[in-house]
Structure 1
Amino acid sequence: MAVFKIEVELDWISEEGDLDSIIKAEVINGLQAKFTERIEKSTHSMLNKKLEEVAGKVTDDFLKKIMSDTVSTMTIPHKSSEWGSEVQMLTLSEFVGMRYDRYLKEKVFDKDGNTPRYSSDAKMSIHEFFINKFLEKELIGKMTALIKNARQEAEETVIKTLESNLKAQLSADLINRLNIPSLLKSLQEKAATLEAGSSE
Structure 2
Amino acid sequence: MPGLRAFRGLFFALFVTALFAIGATIFARLLIIYNATDSLPHGLYLVVRKPAYERGELVVFPVPVAVRGLVRQRHWLPEGAFLIKPVAGKSGDLLSTKNGRCLVNGVDFGPVEKVDRTGQPLPVFSINRRLKNGEIAVVNPSPRSFDSRYFGPIREREIIGVAVLILTQTGTAQTLRNSSGDGSWQKTEEVRKSWEIGSAR
TM-score (norm 2): 0.26
Relative to its length, the structure with more helix (as a share) is 1
More relative contact order, 1 or 2 (CA 8 Å, 6+ apart): 2
Structure with max Cα Rg = 1
Relative to its length, the structure with more strand (as a share) is 2
TM-score (norm 1): 0.26
